[in-house]
Amino acid sequence: MNYRYMILIADRNPHVRAFLKREMTAEGYQIRVADSGREVLRSAFGPSPIHLLIIDPDLPDVEEPAILRQVQERIPELPIIVHSFDPDHAKHFEISNTLVFVEKCGKSIERLISLVAEMLQKVNPECIETPDEKRLPQREDLNETG
């Protein structure tokens, strides 16, 4: 199944970024990666939209809660998964329908894959399924009269 969702994966560790990219690509998602807060903001606020953010907020050039607040203030509907070794991160952020915490551990990838699908479906219930792909409706889909 092919998804036309764009996921941004942000982590300072290149091995984690590569692993998550490989696993999410195998699920059919399009992936962008970022290794700094600056790249996260550039990608999140850029001309090509992202549909979900997976982030370890321990990025080298930002304060941890600040980056998530910036993204949430500007794109409040964007689903965010905070993926971190430190379970105390969950205490720093307001956990909601669009922001969840997943602790990094040996089997966290299964939880991430499941959460990504669940969160994207919640935020995008209008997702249209065709025999070979799922895609977000385009303007012409919405205006089509038959």
Output the pLDDT for position 75.
Answer: 93
Query: Which range (19-28, 76-85, 90-99, 127-136) has the least confidence?
Result: 127-136
Q: What is the mean pLDDT of the chain?
A: 80
Please report how the helices 108-123 and 14-26 are oriented relative to each other, as an axis angle in degrees rounded to 10: 60
Give the chain's largest Cα–Cα span.
52
Residue 61 contacts residue 37 (beta carbons within 8 Å) = yes
Higher-confidence position of 57 and 137: 57
Output the pLDDT for position 139.
Answer: 33
Q: Predicted confidence band at 94 (pLDDT cuts at 50, 70, 90)?
A: low
Which range is most confident: 76-80, 103-107, 135-139? 76-80
Domain total for the chain?
Answer: 1
User: Residues near 28 by Cβ (< 8 Å), separated by ≥ 6?
Assistant: 1, 2, 3
User: Residues near 48 by Cβ (< 8 Å), separated by ≥ 6?
Assistant: 6
Q: Predicted confidence band at 46 (pLDDT cuts at 50, 70, 90)?
A: very high
Q: Which domain holds residue 50?
A: 2-143
Domain with 18 in it: what CATH number? 3.40.50.2300
Strands (E), 57-144: 80-84, 99-103, 128-130, 133-135
Percent of the chain with pLDDT over 90: 53
